Structure 1
Amino acid sequence: MPASAKTSLVSAAHELRRLIPPSVARAYVNRRVDQLMEIDAYRELQEAQMRHLLEFTDRAPEIPVLARQFAIETMLKTHLRWHPRLVTSEPVRGIEWLTTQRDPSRSVVLNFMHHYRYEGMFKALKRRGVELDIIAHAELMGKDTPNPLKHHMRLVASGGRMTPAGGGMDSYIAMARPGITMVVASDLPGHTPVTFLGRRVMGSFGSARIATETNSQVVLITAHKDDDESTYLQLHPPIEPSDFADAHALLAEILNRHGEAVLAWPEVVDMPLSRFGRIEEQA
């Protein structure tokens, strides 16, 4: 099948998802995943995603079970994107760290990972009066971006001002003006060897370097699920760059803290195999 035809089919399937009401989306997805998990290649891919994330953790024995949950959450997310109010209305705890209790004379690096329905977290903050400058890959913002990704990026962009990545570290440092809240992810493929959940990977150094060179506070945002299955976003108390020997130590602390949230709810990580960069040989 020509590439253009495959693209058209993907776009058509994407558009059809809007016809499924959110009230029945999870039941529909559960049935569909049950069918797909009977296909060896599909099941093995879901397990590979969870294995890449959890192989070096105490949750490794749960990989087969979590793989099914990962498949459900991944597919469900593609349906719920068509209902942005649901995706952007998560409760937020600790909002004061970006509003009344922040230091207005300094900038903040809001650091996140591609965990849970992260595309809606920025609008959830905007609803509470937080203005964000979101750094995103330029190729995701172009006119040739596939329709599913365009729809995803519209959700992201609804939460703040979009800044294409690629301008260089100097441009990001120049952005760090008093009062600004700059959104940066740390689980993108990068050039810095780091450890995340026991696996050596190549991480992005941007958030730690920006914070260190501009004396910006780092506020982490993480996703959580309570015992009653209710979900929420958590903003954490600011991390001070001056408390660490250098930016590398700061980045290690950032990843350790994110790791706790991810390990508690691993099945909602967005495509673990596409996060960070690969280091094939593990120490």
Structure 2
Amino acid sequence: MGFIGDQVQRVRSLIPYGALPALARRRVDGLWQIEEYRSAQEAEMRYLLEHTERAAEIPEIARGYTEFALLRGYRRWHPGKLSRQPVTGIEWLTTKRDPERGVLLSFVHHAQYEGLFPSLARQGAAVHAVVAPEAFDPASPVQLRQHFKVAGMMPNTTLVPATIGTAGMVELLEGGAILGIASDVAGRTPVQFLGRELRGAFGAARMATQTNSPVVLVTSHQGADGNPSLQVHEPLEPGDFADPGALLAEIMRRHEPAVLAWPEAFDSPYTRLGVPAGE
């Protein structure tokens, strides 16, 4: 996207935050008349929900999913709002944690997840967030640059490129850092999520086990006003599981309720979850 495209995107910051949902709805009114586009959005939600009790709602949820995807992009230009999501359970990352032990912070690409790290940071949780290398590429599209700008906007949040590899991440955990890693990442390990067997990434659970780092989940929830809030959950202790595979299975199981309650806010199921096991 060139200079003009960048300017168009930044105009989003001039639109009042409260007006953005209506703007997204109006745009979807037009897009929903395009059968090919509508079918593609329904396919995303079918992939996420067809094996759950919400399968019958897929056409309706697909429209909400499309609206939220647009809204997520619009809201990205209001970092002051995204970085102030209400947080409950923050004590699991602050006063109730052993500062000598690292913490593996598990999240999924749900709701306004770029605002997750600054919202936690404002509550006193300093996180090293593992991100794609594109976060550091000035040639990345403007929306992507803004996404990572929001994620790393607080001084006590450090964006860490995934290219540091397992060794670099283990070093951070062994040094007592809170290491934020997305759990909805495609890999090679069979794992169940919302009734579908997928192939998930095994590395985070393996690192937590190797370093004896508790795993703390953060989930997103829709408030009465439609805005997201965050819930920090009580830690999972790696020693309570037979192996990293069992730990990974429990991590994914515990992420399910928040996604199932608000599936419209899950970002790009095909991209995040990858190809089902056996396909």
TM-score tier after normalising by the smaller chain length: over 0.9
The 5-angstrom pairing of residues 193-208 of structure 1 reads 193-208=190-205
1:148 to 135, 143, 157: 143
Task: Count how many residue pairs are aligned between Structure 1 and Structure 2.
Answer: 277
Superposed counterparts of 1:7-86, under 5 Å: 11-86=6-81
| Contact in 2 for aligned 1:186/1:206 (Cα 8 Å) | no
Q: Pairwise CA RMSD of aligned residues?
A: 1.8
Taking the TM superposition and a 5 Å limit, the aligned residue runs for 1:1-283 are 11-159=6-154, 160-226=157-223, 229=226, 231-279=228-276, 281=278
Q: Is the 8 A contact 2:199 2:277 kept in 1?
A: no
- Structure 1 residues 100 and 74: CA distance shift in structure 2, 3 A: same
Q: CA deviation at 1:53?
A: 0.6
Question: For structure 1, which segment, 202-211 or 64-73, has the greater mean C-alpha deviation from structure 2 after superposition?
Answer: 202-211
In structure 2, runs of 5+ residues without a counterpart are none
Stretch moving more, 190-199 or 227-236: 227-236
Q: TM-score, normalised by structure 2?
A: 0.93
What secondary structure is seen at the aligned counterpart in 1 of 2:234? coil
Q: CA separation in 2, counterparts of 1:18 and 1:237?
A: 36
How much identity, in percent, do the aligned residues show?
Answer: 44
What residue identity is the alignment partner of 2:176?
G
Gaps of 5+ in 1: 1-5
Q: Which moved more, 1:87-96 or 1:192-201?
A: 192-201
The answer as to whether partners of 2:190 and 2:277 remain within 8 angstroms in 1 is no
Q: Which moved more, 1:218-227 or 1:53-62?
A: 218-227
SS at match of 1:103: coil
* SS of alignment partner, residue 275 of structure 1: helix
Find the residue that maps to 1:144 and give its secondary structure. coil
Shift of 1:134: 0.8
Deviation per CA, 1:140-169, whole angstroms, max 9, x where unpaired?
Answer: 321221111011110111241111102321
- The amino acid of 1:131's aligned partner reads A
State the AA in 1 paired with 2:39. E
Query: Tell me, what secondary structure is at the counterpart of 1:191?
Result: strand
After superposition, the C-alpha distances for 1:34-84 in whole angstroms (9 at most, x for unaligned) are 111111111111111111110111111100000011111111111111111
Q: 1:227, CA displacement in angstroms?
A: 5.6
Asked if 2 retains the 8 angstrom alpha-carbon contact of 1:73 and 1:268, the reply is yes
Name the CA shift for 1:81/1:166 in 2 (closer, same or farther; >3 Å). Answer: same
- Maintained 8 Å contact 2:214/2:235: yes
Sort the Cα spacing of 1:236 and 1:195 in 2 relative to 1 into closer, same or farther, 3 A. same
- Note the C-alpha offset of 1:231: 3.8
Q: 1:144 to 1:227 in 2, by over 3 A?
A: closer
Q: Return closer, same or farther for 1:13/1:191 CA change in 2, 3 Å cut-off.
A: farther
- Residues in 2 aligned to 1:27 and 1:168: alpha-carbon distance in whole angstroms: 42
Stretch deviating more after TM superposition (137-146 or 112-121)? 137-146
Note if contact 1:25-1:76 (Cα within 8 Å) is conserved in structure 2.
yes
**Contact 2:111/2:228 (<8 A) preserved:** no
Mapped to 2, the partners of 1:262 and 1:151 lie a distance apart of 24
Aligned to 1:3: none
Identify which range, 206-215 or 248-257, moves more after superposition: 206-215
